[in-house]
Chains A and B, each alone.
Chain A
Amino acid sequence: MVLRADYKTDLWVDWCPGCGDFGILAAIQKALSELKPKPWQVAIVSGIGCSGKTPHFIYSNGIHTLHGRSIPFATGIKLSNPDLMVIIDGGDGDLLGIGAGHFVALGRRNLDITVIIHDNQVYGLTKGQASPTLQAGIKTKALPEPNIQDAINPIALALTSGYTFVARAFAMDIDHLEEVIKRAIKHKGATVIDVLQPCVTYNDIYTTQWYRKRIYHLEEEKGWNPIVERPEERYEKLGNALSKAWEWGERIPVGVFYEDRTKDTITDRIAQRIPSYYNKPPSKQAIERYGKPLLDDAKFREIFASYLVKVEK
């Protein structure tokens, strides 16, 4: 098998020329090129949408699932093989509309997965309807009338759902995005990167130029330290992150909003109950010997002793 240092496949990338998804794809590939996982040690999981095609363009395992369901698919994959590096690419409609329940659930589990939201404020692949991140009152190109539903704040939702690494980046600033992706992958726990992704075809409001004028880097803010090193700092830092989350308009922050290094993950909790879990997760256990079950009659009796009744004649 060949290794490809650039993690690129030979497929033609069929996004509209100029689409922000190209930036996200490049940033992921660059991050992988630096982290150098073997392609079989990575699983890129996506939903449905323009963004959903991402895994096909990356030379590593790719699972292109259903609209909104990338998170539960990825959850089953990661829980059964925690050695895999699992990265999710989903649209804003996918992750925060139809899949919003799963988005919240992943935060609660703090499972070690990196979620990359392709946040273009529209449903790209279905031709430009409003996505849940589009503000009310805005009329993007394809909308017949201005949007009458309020927007979800992905950062705030992630923070309150329990994600332990929450960041925002801009698809057209590939180097910064790559850095954030690397940090997110290295972080142990559920991570979200809300990537502001221009959709050149349907989003004529939030364009690259619009963002360029407004974006600033949190890292450059004096005194900004989002990292929780001790559990006691959690609520203060969460509060700081939340107030930054609502900053939108003339100034839009990108960078890391919150990083909690103190919280255990759901796999840690599983390992407390099944100590061999990390060594022998579900995908790595033998389940038969010469085509027979590992349990024999004696072990069966032992395991299910509480269901067994000895007849006393």
Chain B
Amino acid sequence: MDEKSSEMRILLGGPQGTGLETASQILAAAYAIGGYRVYSMREYFSNIKGRHSYIGLRVNPEKQPLAPIEGPHIVAGIDAETIFTHFTEAIQDTIIIYDTRVFKTKLRSIASMEKYFRDRVRETLEKSNYDTTVEGALRYASEELGAKSIGLDYQAILNDFSQEIGISKYQAQRYLNTILVATIANITGLSLDELKRGFKRRFGSKVEIIEDNMKLSAIVYKFTADLKDKIKIPTPHHSPDEYLVVNGNEVVAMGKIVGGLRFQSYYPITPASDESFMLETHENLENYVDKSGGIVVLQTEDEIAAISAAIGSALTGARSATATSGPGFDLMVEALGWAGINEVPVVITYYQRGGPSTGLPTRGGQQDLFSALFSSHGEFPRIVISSGDHEEAFYDAITAINWAEKYQTPVIHILDKFLANTTITLELPHLEKIAIERGDLLQAPPPNYKRFKKNGSPIAPRVVLGAENAVIWYAGDEHDEEGHIIEDPINRLEMHELRMKKLEIAHQEIPQEERAVLYGSGEDFLLVGWGSTKGVALEAIELLKREGYKGAYLHLRVFEPFPKEYVAKILSRYKPEKIIAVESNYESMAAKVITMNTGFIFKKHILKWTGRPIYVKELSLATLRILEGLSSREVLSYGA
């Protein structure tokens, strides 16, 4: 099964610390400026230098790709390990670019490669009688899979370059990534001028760096003259005038800034901290909002402090949040309960990675749904929102703070590593569509103000700490209207019930079709998923159309308050054996949450927990197997 694609898929690989990310940024910028839609995902080890990392780029003239897909058209490797790691991913006509000096390199000499992976590669090669060398791997790719390999003498290119600009060979090594960039640019039909736009974009005012890179690129274009336009991507016709080129962390930070966030506390953790860095970069808003204004970004001593400080900030009326991933969230849950009982509008931006414990710290997953929904002792209302792509993430970041203030309760905004570290082209948001809703927030207290005086209504008017004429108490203990400790059973009965009822109000007020969104109307099957399953599910459904199966995708956006009636209604339209939960975890957590809320029990599951994202074709094939009655539970494992 393959789709006739007009898009270009590129896999760039090399040791961490050799500028692969920069390379992908340059290429992404160059294509985006050319009007292409770009998707760029990144896989890397928990390591700073030396281990293998790779970037999967998709460049599409028409549609925005939102998921990785198998079958790169170009595989470009800085080193031998890239070839060994990815040669089996080649398809008919894939161009593999490698350094001729590693041609004879033996598999067993690659010390940075994990033994299990190396053993599997050896097995693959030996089983088909190929040498366990780069040469053997390249021959395998060409003879078994139909790929073409193109060797370049990277060092010869760098020699020419170092002589031209007068630097040492050693200094020239840091330009290795530019060889890949220029080779790919030449193959895919970018002129040197078009490539230069990418360098300019990436290096801004650093004119010398841009010039040096252009000199090297010109040399590479000469070396690769016969590859020019080899797989030219069709010209885009309907591109907008401008794009944002952003990853998930960045787009959430943008949402928070637009949404009026004024305090963020965090403790460094992958894949969340880049968001806080971005906020700090933009901390001074004086030129933009009312000639005054800024965001205080505080790096705390741990995540307990991060959430505690964010809560303290929220008490004073600032919009506040913290961002973390699983291990950090674990430390936050006691304070989450404090925010719950004290009805504090605070946002936790929760980027899932592979757990449990340290797990797969730089890889992805969707294993933290239960943790987001159920962690912390006692009962209290919380809202849990999940974003499936960059656009959702931007608006959700704002909605999260709005709902936190409206319902006076903590909001957990779940994302994942796949989204956080994937860069895409995104059309600009429409800010006039955005509402800032602060809920029942009073500037000044009415006479005899009591923070928790509810008069039977679950949401009490809120006055912030420090407001003139208001004296307010808060306690983690059960409290009376004033916020003082009280263990009286009848007070407990009423206070607890009123707090819990806020969720019912939210359930009535927030349209259910916004909390679960149905894409497509195909009647043959229904995929059900959440988070970054969205992109891959939508593309798989397209692909399956060509196989004669028409499907739809039910995308869960809000897990609390859960849109139970709407979800039950959609599910009831399909036969149970045609409803498939697709998730990046073992337990099928979202399916269980649906069962809990609707009584519907899933019979079919497609699951992946390798820490790598779900790819379009593996999902399509697994769906086919299920639809054809061959299986009930498919476990996916594509991707190095």
Contacts and interface: CB of A to CB of B under 8 A. Distances in A.
B29 A55 contact: no
Interface in A67-86: 68-69, 71-81, 83-84
A22 B436 CA distance: 46
A310 B465 contact: no
Interface in B299-320: 300-302, 304-306, 308-320
A34 to B, nearest CB: 19
B432 A74 contact: no
B245 A76 contact: no
Contacts of A11: 484
B471 interface: yes
Given A285-B293, A309-B245, A76 B263 contact: yes
Contacts of A201: none
Interface stretch (B142-150, B361-369, B423-431): B423-431
A56 B476 CA distance: 12
B26 to A, nearest CB: 12
A79 B473 contact: no
B435 A80 contact: no
Nearest to B239: A311
A277 B449 CA distance: 29
Nearest to A302: B288
Interface string A39-79: 11101010010000101100111111110110111111111
B517 interface: no
B472 A61 contact: yes
A220 interface: no
Given A75-B298, A283-B464, A311-B240, A62 B483 contact: yes
A79 B296 CA distance: 8
Contacts of A312: 33-35, 197
- Which of A38, A285, A300 has most chain B Cβ within 10 Å? A285
Prevailing SS type, chain A contact patch: mixed
A76 B601 CA distance: 44
B471 A72 contact: no
A5 B34 CA distance: 71
B294 A274 contact: yes
A19 B249 CA distance: 51
A235 interface: no
A6 to B, nearest CB: 14
A283 B288 contact: no
B292 A61 contact: no
A275 interface: yes
Contact of A80 (B240, B260, B318): B318
B488 interface: no
Contacts of B309: 72-73, 75-76, 79
Interface stretch (B6-14, B117-125, B250-258): B250-258
Contacts of A297: 428, 430-432
B2 interface: no
Number of chain B interface residues as a range: 35 or more
B257 to A, nearest CB: 7
Given A64-B477, A287-B319, A292 B300 contact: no
A238 interface: no
Contact of B338 (A56, A65, A78, A295): A65
Interface string A7-40: 0010100000000000000000000000000111
- Which of B429, B445, B477 has most chain A Cβ within 10 Å? B477
A291 interface: yes
Nearest to B304: A69
Contacts of A275: 286
B311 A73 contact: yes
A40 B467 contact: yes
B242 A62 contact: no
B436 A293 contact: yes
B32 interface: yes
A105 interface: yes
A28 to B, nearest CB: 15
B201 interface: yes
B33 A80 contact: no
Contacts of A295: 257-258, 288-289, 431
B466 A283 contact: yes
B243 interface: yes
B230 to A, nearest CB: 23
Contact of B476 (A45, A61, A64): A64
A313 interface: yes
Given A66-B308, A313-B35, A81 B241 contact: no
Interface in B247-305: 250, 254, 257-260, 262-263, 265, 282-286, 288-296, 298, 300-302, 304-305
Interface of B: 29, 32-35, 197, 201, 204, 239-246, 250, 254, 257-260, 262-263, 265, 282-286, 288-296, 298, 300-302, 304-306, 308-320, 334-335, 338, 398, 425, 428-432, 434-438, 445, 447, 449, 464-477, 483-485
Question: What are the nearest 10 A-B pairs in CB distance?
Answer: A76-B312, A287-B260, A76-B309, A274-B294, A72-B308, A282-B318, A282-B262, A288-B436, A72-B305, A276-B292
25 contacts: A40-B467, A40-B469, A66-B335, A72-B305, A73-B309, A75-B305, A76-B314, A84-B465, A101-B302, A273-B284, A274-B294, A276-B292, A276-B293, A283-B262, A283-B317, A287-B436, A292-B432, A293-B259, A302-B288, A303-B257, A303-B285, A306-B204, A308-B244, A309-B244, A310-B242
